[in-house]
């Protein structure tokens, strides 16, 4: 499979702050099990959802958990911030798995490639738009997120949000 042969991209190494995780939490049913497939134990997706009482299964390519090769664990949701260089392939696999999911992705160009145009046209999805841009950590040890992409991030969801577009505020 082509995807499995794509080398890990340096541009994929940025990490999500807690304030960007909070808005998706209220759409997750209490007692759920969540798979975070692009996350080590240091990920704030893992920490925030665990602190909120959810059961988390996390996996990451560095620990032998290649998302494209893994059989999905039994879970109610798949939630993360995926490697942006593979966002089309990630979303394609998620739609095929048909487990409710939320993926935080950059909005720029999201609907512009023919492949993604067809994928979004042919699948059921919802979008969460945030009032401010998300800044990301370069390193989990950093005190503050210092990477400021010049575009907004949105959650692309499947069978998670009550409407096709939902607006949420973040508190940086």
Ligand X SMILES: C[S@@+](CC[C@H](N)C(=O)[O-])C[C@H]1O[C@@H](n2cnc3c(N)ncnc32)[C@H](O)[C@@H]1O
| Chain residues that interact with ligand X, rule: CB under 6 A | 8, 12-16, 37-39, 43, 45, 60-61, 65-68, 80-83, 86
Minimum distance, C-beta of residue 121 to ligand X, in the bound complex (Å)? 25
Strands 33-36 and 126-130: unpaired
Minimum distance, C-beta of residue 163 to ligand X, in the bound complex (Å)? 25
Nearest residue to 122 (alpha-carbon basis) of 91, 80, 163: 91
Which is nearer to ligand X, 8 or 115 (by Cβ)?
8
Minimum distance, C-beta of residue 9 to ligand X, in the bound complex (Å)? 8
What is the rounded distance in angstroms from the CA atom of residue 150 to the CA atom of residue 133? 8
CA 132 vs. chain centroid, Å, equals 17
Which is nearer to ligand X, 14 or 35 (by Cβ)?
14
Which is nearer to ligand X, 134 or 161 (by Cβ)?
134
How many Cα atoms within 13 Å fall on the side-chain side of residue 23?
Answer: 27
Minimum distance, C-beta of residue 25 to ligand X, in the bound complex (Å)? 14
Which is nearer to ligand X, 90 or 166 (by Cβ)?
90
> Could you tell me if residue 111 is left (phi over 0), alpha (psi between -120 and 50 degrees) or otherwise beta?
alpha
Nearest residue to 102 (alpha-carbon basis) of 74, 82, 88: 82
């Amino acid at each position: 499979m082509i995807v499995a042969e794509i080398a890990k991209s340096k541009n994929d190494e940025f990490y999500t702050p807690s304030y960007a995780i909070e808005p998706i939490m209220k759409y997750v049913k209490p007692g759920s099990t969540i798979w975070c497939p692009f996350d080590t134990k240091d990920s704030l997706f893992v920490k925030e959802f665990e602190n909120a009482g959810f059961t988390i299964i996390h996996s990451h390519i560095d620990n032998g958990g290649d998302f494209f090769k893994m059989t999905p664990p039994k879970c109610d949701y798949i939630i993360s911030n995926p490697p942006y260089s593979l966002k089309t392939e990630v979303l394609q696999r998620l739609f095929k798995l048909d487990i409710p999911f939320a993926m935080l992705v950059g909005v720029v160009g999201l609907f512009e490639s023919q492949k993604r145009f067809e994928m979004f046209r042919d699948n059921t999805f919802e979008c969460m738009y945030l009032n401010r841009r998300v800044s990301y950590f370069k390193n989990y040890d950093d005190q503050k997120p210092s990477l400021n992409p010049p575009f907004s991030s949105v959650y692309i969801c499947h069978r998670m949000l009550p409407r096709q577009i939902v607006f949420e505020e973040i508190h940086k």
